């Protein structure tokens, strides 16, 4: 399953442009060569990553201040990336260990916990909700680094539970809200199309972004109202963000960007993500809903 971050049950839908609905603001860590913004909580705190010199490192943006995460730990020395933050300030993401593989992490009240699904080659933590439930994916790789299997998971209080979309070959859980609703993606095997899914009250539904020519759907987050943001790819292999509110889909494209992704959404409808510019630079962004497009 290819998962894009940009240098990484719905049957009827209406499409709209984001330009009239959102005000976009670029976000850049001072002096960095690129900035990623992936998660935003209801206080407006944002997490992601930055790079001045390789590798990239996990980042918190709070009250306008750019704060490298746990700089004296492995997050500050090795490749690391923060993906979500809950309202308590707990942060999840992943880092590359000294073994060369990805490991999930939870940073809570200054304590860093490594998350490794049992017997997995690598573990990726993508989301966390207010109760502290973490979601993500675990991979099994062969000796040459080829992906043999990918499955989703939830984790809480030290216990992992595997989560797979029914009938899928590969699954990943990418977001969870306060109600425990899940979003993620799935496929039917190597080379097949990637679809989105949402699970609520024990029922899981597959969906695809309904824009003409869309060939890939990756939901990345869901807020307490059930609004979903994520990524889709069109027939020209161009990357776009999307917002799904019920049966209504909006394409998210940062002005003049060469590609846009949607990664995080809070209850106020603020969205964060990543966009690429014509000079090949990569930036984070905040999409602020305009008054006429307040969340339902």
CATH of the domain at 164: 2.120.10.30
Specify if 17 maps to a domain: no
Mean pLDDT of 194-218: 96
Q: What is the pLDDT of residues 158-176, one digit of tens each?
A: 999 999 999 999 999 999 9
Q: State the Cα–Cα distance between residues 244 and 258, nearest whole angstrom.
A: 22
Specify if 146 maps to a domain: yes
Domain count, the chain: 1
Specify if 257 maps to a domain: no
Global pTM reads 0.93
Cβ atoms within 10 Å, residue 16: 14
Residue 18 pairs with which residues in a beta bridge? Answer: none
Q: What is the pLDDT of residues 239-272, one digit of tens each?
A: 999 999 999 999 999 999 999 999 999 999 999 9
Specify if 196 maps to a domain: yes
Q: By residue range, what is the domain housing residue 226? A: 31-239
Mean pLDDT of 24-41: 97
Q: Dihedral sign for Cα 71, 25, 53, 6, please.
A: positive
DSSP state of 212: T
Per-residue pLDDT band at 294 (split at 50, 70, 90) = very low
Percent share of the chain, pLDDT over 70: 91
Q: Which of 17-31, 52-66, 93-107, 163-177 has the lowest mean pLDDT?
A: 17-31
Average per-residue pLDDT in the chain?
92
């Amino acid at each position: 399953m290819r998962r894009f971050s940009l240098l990484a049950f719905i049957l009827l839908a209406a499409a709209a442009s984001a330009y009239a609905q959102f005000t976009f603001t670029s976000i850049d860590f001072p002096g960095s060569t690129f900035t990623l913004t992936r998660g935003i909580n209801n206080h407006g705190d944002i997490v992601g990553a930055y790079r001045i010199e390789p590798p990239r490192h996990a980042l918190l943006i709070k009250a306008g201040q750019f704060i490298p995460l746990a700089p004296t730990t492995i997050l500050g020395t090795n490749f690391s990336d923060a993906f979500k933050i809950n309202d308590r300030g707990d942060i999840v993401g992943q880092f590359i260990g000294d073994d060369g593989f990805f490991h999930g992490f939870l940073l809570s009240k200054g304590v860093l916990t490594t998350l490794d699904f049992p017997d997995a080659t690598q573990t990726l933590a993508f989301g966390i909700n207010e109760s502290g439930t973490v979601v993500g994916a675990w991979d099994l790789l062969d000796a040459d680094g080829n992906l043999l299997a990918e499955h989703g998971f939830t984790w809480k209080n030290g216990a992992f539970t595997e989560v797979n979309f029914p009938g899928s070959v590969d699954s990943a859980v990418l977001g969870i809200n306060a109600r425990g609703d899940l979003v993620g993606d799935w496929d039917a095997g190597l080379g097949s199309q990637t679809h989105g899914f949402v699970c609520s009250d024990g029922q899981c539904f597959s969906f695809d972004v309904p824009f003409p020519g869309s060939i890939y759907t990756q939901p990345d987050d869901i807020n307490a109202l059930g609004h979903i943001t994520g990524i889709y790819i069109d027939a020209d292999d161009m990357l776009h963000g999307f917002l799904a509110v019920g049966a209504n889909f909006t394409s998210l494209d940062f002005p003049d960007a060469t590609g846009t992704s949607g990664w995080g959404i809070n209850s106020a409808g603020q969205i964060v993500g990543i966009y690429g510019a014509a000079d090949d630079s990569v930036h984070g962004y905040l999409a602020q809903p305009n008054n006429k497009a307040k969340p339902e």
